[in-house]
Amino acid sequence: MTSSTARKSLPASVDWEKKIDDVAPSKLDLNNMVMNYLITEGYEEAAIKFAQEANLATSVKYNGIGERRKIRNAIQAGDIKSAIKMINGLNPQLLDTNPGIHFSLLRLQLIELIKECNASAGGDVTPAIDFATKHLAPRAPANKGFLNALEETMLLIMHQPNSPQLSAMNDPSVRQEIAKMVNDALLEADNMTSEADIRKLIRTRAFVGEELVKIQANVKINGPKTPFPPFDLGIDEDEQMSS
pLDDT at 13: 56
What's the whole-number mean pLDDT along residues 218-241? 52
Cβ contact 10:3 at 8 Å:
no
pLDDT digits (tens, 9 = 90+) for 23-66: 777 777 787 788 878 887 778 788 888 888 888 876 666 667 88
Share of the chain above pLDDT 90, in %: 32
Q: Left (φ > 0), alpha (ψ -120 to 50) or beta: where does 94 sit?
A: alpha
Query: Given a cut of 70, is residue 11 above it in pLDDT?
Result: no
Query: Given a cut of 50, is residue 214 above it in pLDDT?
Result: yes
Residue bearing the bigger pLDDT, 221 or 154: 154
pLDDT band (50, 70, 90) for residue 73: very high
pLDDT at 7: 46
pLDDT at 205: 73
The total of other beta-carbon atoms located within 10 Å of residue 216's CB is 16
pLDDT digits (tens, 9 = 90+) for 85-95: 999 999 999 99
Burial of 214 (0-12, 13-18, 19+ CB in 10 A): exposed
Cβ contact 80:87 at 8 Å:
no
Closest CA to 225 of 213, 236, 207, 237: 213
pLDDT digits (tens, 9 = 90+) for 146-186: 999 999 898 888 766 666 777 777 788 999 999 999 999 99
Residue bearing the bigger pLDDT, 220 or 168: 168
pLDDT digits (tens, 9 = 90+) for 89-121: 999 999 999 999 999 999 999 999 988 887 766
pTM, whole model, 2 decimals?
0.66
